[in-house]
Each structure stands twice: as C-alpha cells, then as structure tokens.
Homo-oligomer: A and B are copies of this chain.
Amino acid sequence: MPEFTRARAYLIGAMSQETGVNIETIRYYEKIGLMPKPDRTAGGNRQYSHDHLKRLSFIRKSRNLGFSIAEIRSLLGMVDQQDVSCGDVHRMTVRHLGAVRDKIAALQQLEDALEGMAAKCARGDVPDCPIIDTLFEQPEAAA
C-alpha cells in the first residue's frame, strides 16, 4: 500500500464509509472514550489518521463478534498499554464464547416451543386458538 494512503487524513464521513460505522456512532464512541479525540481542521471538522481508522475497524469487528463495549474497552486497554497478554485475550474470548453458546441454547429451546405451538394451530379463521390458549393457561410457579 502506497505511503500517501497511510498518511492521509479522513473526515468523519470517510471514516464511516471505510468502516461501515455510522457517523453518529463514531461521535458516540468518542464521547464515551472508546475513540480518542481527533485533531480538527481549521473549520472545526474532525480529522482522523490511519491509526484511528484501524482502531475504529477493530471496534466494529469486535462489536460484530458480539463483544460488549465494556469488553472492547478492556481489549483496547490492553492494546493501549502495550500490555497484551495473549492469555488474557484468550480468556476473554473463551468466556464470551461460553455466553454465546448459552444464548444459542436458550434460543433453540425457544425455537422448539414456538414450533410446537405453530404445529398445534389450525391456521384457519376459527375463534379458538390453541396458541392463545397455551399462553393463557394458569401461571406456573415463579421462574
């Protein structure tokens, strides 16, 4: 990649285009301290460097992987302190993987229940719907 590309400065619209992160979201990340305050042009517009771009792309990817803002903050904290221990990152990833698997299991249970309900239903214009009946049954013990 040619040098001038790396040295280029980006306005917020370009950042948004390059990373797919909404302009408002970029400003929001700045506000909550996930992105550092960038330089400004003479007129007051934000001016980003290639490093900013890489960082925003990191955040975007991590968000896509389902990491919370708090988790990304710790990941970036490690990066910022140049104190990246692979063990720590691995632990966070595995913990997160566990949470994702739990979510999948819960949704699969839900899928089964919904399938069962849909199968019971006559679909027609009948007034008595087994789905509604199911939902209107006696309350169970508190979950």
Which residues on A are within 8 Å of B, measured CB to CB? 16-20, 53-54, 56-58, 60-62, 64-66, 75, 78-79, 82, 84-87, 89-90, 93-94, 96-97, 100-101, 103-104, 107-108, 110-111, 113-115, 117-118, 121-132, 135-143
Q: List 25 A-B contacts (CB under 8 A).
A: A18-B139, A20-B141, A56-B139, A58-B135, A62-B135, A75-B132, A79-B136, A82-B127, A84-B127, A85-B126, A85-B129, A86-B122, A86-B125, A86-B131, A89-B132, A90-B118, A90-B121, A90-B129, A90-B131, A93-B131, A94-B118, A97-B115, A100-B107, A103-B107, A104-B111
Q: Are A124 and B87 in contact, CB atoms less than 8 angstroms apart?
A: yes
